[in-house]
Amino acid sequence: MTERLNVVGTCVPRHDALAKVTGSARYLADLPCADAWVGGALWSEVPRARLRGIALGEGFDWSRVTVVTASDLPGPNEVHMVKDDYPILADREVSYVGQALALVAAPDETTLKEALACLGPNLEELPPVLTVEASLAGEAIIWGEDNVQAKYVVEHGDVEAAFSRSDLVIEETYRTHHQEHLYLETNGMLARPGADGGVTVDGSLQCPYYVARALAHALALPLDKVVLRQTETGGAFGGKEDYPSVIAVQAALLAMKAGRPVRMILERSEDIDVTTKRHPSIIRHRTGVTRDGVILAADIDILFDGGAFSTMSPVVLSRGVLHAWSAYRLPNARIVGRALATNTAPNGAFRGFGAPQTIFAMERQMDLVARRLGMSPLEVRRKNLLKAGDTLPCGQVLRSAHAELVLDRALALSGYGRKHGGHESDDRVLRGTGLSVFLHGGGFTGAGEEKIAGSAAVEAMDDGTVDVLVSSTEMGQGAATVLPQIAAEVLALPCDRVRHPNPDTSRVPDSGPTVASRTTMMVGRILLDAAADMRKKLTEFAAARSGADSNSIEWRDGRLSSDGKDLGAFEDLAKLYKKQYGKPLRGEAQYDPPLDCQWSEEEYRGDAYKDYAWACDVVEVEIDADTLELRIPRTTSVVEIGRAIHPVLAEGQVAGGTLQALGWGAMEDVKMEKGRYRNNSVSTYIIPTAVDAPDFRIEIAEAPSPYGPWGAKGLGELPMDGGAPALAAAVEDALGVFATELPLTSDRLHALLQRDDRGGDRR
């Protein structure tokens, strides 16, 4: 791939921009469907109970609506995900506030609300398990045999011997809290029963085939009777990876029973109450270091709050465990991760997928090591940064590592060396600067990509354009532009001649879910091969037609030529191809596993990810000396992502992801009381607004990877990982307090300062 690039690396206009900027983009609620009924659910108000039945109240004419309870299900009462433990509807047992007890479809919203209010669940409350600690203690067994939804152990070297060689052993426990996705479009689905007994579902989602399979499983239908079509999706961030399967199944059940289309869209409060969130965590670190700051041993114990059912928790936990070292060498390590069940709404996928929690803990621990040794956070990091050739605790030998590169650039850009410890604070404002260095594995963990074995296709359309056929969705991140760029580059077409229609499972092959920062790196690579397959087919066709040697055929600016002789335009040749073969010109490819990556799930050891993207965040804070109100005027992020296919979109991922990370770190605060989210509205769950956004200084570094298209690596989640710990370090620089817990609200800062005043902070 040394040829000059025409499309890759350029900033073509977003393909979805025109529709979005003129208001013509159709999100789920915008789809016309006049005969659709409105679907809704009766949600549990209690965290744990026996369900003895649901009475249809008198005084309501139940013939006006359709009701579905657990006894109406045509298939298993399971929403098919990683494990099949998530019930579609509560049956006998209720496990969290917000669990669906019954479904109702009605001609309009007023009737729906009336009907829901007349349903009488007969519940016998049981003592709930509301915290990870209570779950671990086994106060009640609410999941499996021991409440443990998943467990992973990584062991590397001789940990105990390394601890005994250490000059100092430093121990601390870190806690992180829920985070709500707050995508601006809530979860929603529109299900239409088909004449053939099948179902067609339109929805706001990330993973068409996840949902299609969940529908087939729950409705006891063959997969080919289920059609899933993604609508324009108003943000997702992981929050439309797992829950769409739940609401799609629920909407489809209503539609099948009602015999008409049913649209189910969650209101904002419902969406916050019942959908998944980022797993809260409790992470204990014990680190053995030499006097001069070299880490010899690490013992890391990770607990994630999985909530009532496991959703994606096993895989989220796995990624958390396999990012627990952040960007540092742990020559001897024992890492144990467990996801525990509680009687709270199931937690699930959220950008970063377990890594933000474990990286927060590791980065904080590095700051603590520095504090204890009287060294600077920078110095301690430098001594332990991963380098090419290093072995990760999971046994992976790094072929490349760019921690030093991103750190050096971020230092140069941000002026960290000058600012850290040397801020001019005054009576009014206390200033501080902190940094984090981290990595993020692109694509599925372990052998996940091999298991998915994704496919992609490109097809020449009659209007002269080419369609990218993949199940990867556009949800704002830019897939509908970046994927066409990749195909356009291979096919020497202008980018606007290649389109990425919203996936429809009756048309697109399964290229896997739109998750794990895999779309550009993994699906993009398969797509590149599919486009190359199309190119080869048309080259051979043009050669046979013209008598030219196929090796002599060149593709340029949408035309094919041989030795300077024009053979025709791409679209004309594609039409001739279709005429001759009776089918459109198509290129296809399937994932080709790299032979140099090996992973053993049994041993939980090997190449955890095909490759890693690297980043360094520097966060600057200004804290009001009286109110402790925290402002973030500036951040610097240097990301090494192999190759930016579209630099502006790549920067957009960095800025947006960093702000989500800072929101999580500074202000987003899910309040929970007796298993119920107290702040279930946009006015009480506060996310960063326009006045909160810092000036982002962003630099993209490119060290091409052998695995992605033109060297591209995963990017989407990386910026979520480092903002919170860098923020905590900046607060430490400004106030001198060492925070082990998020979010860093004024209240928390006040408590930390008081503890310091009392001499309570012995760190």
Partner 1 sequence: MKRDVNFILNGRPVTLSVEPRTTLLRALREYGVTSVKRGCEEGECGTCTLVIDDLAQKSCMVLALEVEGKSVLTVEGLVAPNGDLHPLQQAFVEEGAIQCGFCTPGMIMTAYAFLRKNPDPTEAEVREALAGNLCRCTGYIPIFRAVMKAAKTMRELGSHPGAAR
Footprint on this chain of partner 1 (rule: CB under 8 A): 11, 13-14, 16-27, 29-30, 181-186, 232-237, 267-268, 475-478, 648-649, 651-652, 655-660, 681-683, 687-691, 693, 695-696
Residue 409 DSSP SS3: helix
Closest alpha carbon to 483 in 28, 1, 16, 2: 16
Which is closer to partner 1, CB of 24 or CB of 627? Answer: 24
- Supply the minimum distance, in Å, between the C-beta of residue 228 and partner 1: 19
Helix pair angle (355-373, 313-321), 10° resolution: 30
- Supply the minimum distance, in Å, between the C-beta of residue 565 and partner 1: 39
| 66-68 β-sheet, strand order | 66-68, 100-106, 37-43, 262-265, 188-193, 199-203, 226-230
User: Under a CB-based contact definition with an 8 Å cutoff, are residues 330 and 289 in contact?
Assistant: no
Which is closer to partner 1, CB of 60 or CB of 696? Answer: 696
Which is closer to partner 1, CB of 62 or CB of 696? Answer: 696
Q: Are strands 455-460 and 586-590 parallel, antiparallel or unpaired?
A: antiparallel
Which is closer to partner 1, CB of 267 or CB of 557? Answer: 267
- Supply the minimum distance, in Å, between the C-beta of residue 127 and partner 1: 34
Cis peptide before 743 (omega within 30 of 0): yes
User: Under a CB-based contact definition with an 8 Å cutoff, are residues 708 and 524 in contact?
Assistant: yes
Pairwise CA distance, residues 49 & 51, whole Å: 6
- Supply the minimum distance, in Å, between the C-beta of residue 718 and partner 1: 14
Question: Residue 104: beta bridge partners?
Answer: 40, 67
DSSP 8-state symbol, 504: B
- Supply the minimum distance, in Å, between the C-beta of residue 17 and partner 1: 4
User: Under a CB-based contact definition with an 8 Å cutoff, are residues 143 and 313 in contact?
Assistant: no
Closest alpha carbon to 521 in 704, 323, 395: 704
Which is closer to partner 1, CB of 202 or CB of 459? Answer: 202
- Supply the minimum distance, in Å, between the C-beta of residue 244 and partner 1: 15
Which is closer to partner 1, CB of 235 or CB of 501? Answer: 235
Residue 84 DSSP SS3: coil
CA angle 286, 163, 728 (to 5 degrees): 25
Which is closer to partner 1, CB of 642 or CB of 657? Answer: 657
- Supply the minimum distance, in Å, between the C-beta of residue 728 and partner 1: 20
Which is closer to partner 1, CB of 149 or CB of 186? Answer: 186
DSSP string, 198-224: -EEEEE--S-HHHHHHHHHHHHT--GG
Under 8 Å CB-to-CB from 246, ≥6 apart: which residues?
79, 86, 88, 100, 214
Which is closer to partner 1, CB of 568 or CB of 688? Answer: 688
Residue with tokens 């006040």: 750
The H or E element that residue 253 is part of is helix 243-258
- Supply the minimum distance, in Å, between the C-beta of residue 327 and partner 1: 23
- Supply the minimum distance, in Å, between the C-beta of residue 631 and partner 1: 12
CA dihedral 312, 318, 319, 322 (to 10 degrees): 180
User: Under a CB-based contact definition with an 8 Å cutoff, are residues 475 and 201 in contact?
Assistant: no
Which is closer to partner 1, CB of 186 or CB of 310? Answer: 186
Q: How far is CA 384 from the centre of its chain?
A: 28
Helices in 259-395 by DSSP H: which ranges?
268-274, 313-321, 355-373, 377-384
- Supply the minimum distance, in Å, between the C-beta of residue 16 and partner 1: 7
Pairwise CA distance, residues 94 & 244, whole Å: 21
Question: Residue 697: beta bridge partners?
Answer: 636
Pairwise CA distance, residues 208 & 236, whole Å: 13
Which is closer to partner 1, CB of 266 or CB of 542? Answer: 266
- Supply the minimum distance, in Å, between the C-beta of residue 139 and partner 1: 37
Which is closer to partner 1, CB of 199 or CB of 266? Answer: 266
What is the per-residue burial (b if ≥16 Cβ within 10 Å, else e) of 390-408? bebbbbbebebbbbbebbe
Which is closer to partner 1, CB of 300 or CB of 654? Answer: 654
- Supply the minimum distance, in Å, between the C-beta of residue 691 and partner 1: 5
- Supply the minimum distance, in Å, between the C-beta of residue 690 and partner 1: 4
Closest alpha carbon to 168 in 474, 345, 310, 374: 374
Which is closer to partner 1, CB of 150 or CB of 630? Answer: 630
- Supply the minimum distance, in Å, between the C-beta of residue 185 and partner 1: 5
Question: Residue 143: beta bridge partners?
Answer: none
Closest alpha carbon to 718 in 620, 645, 642, 631: 642
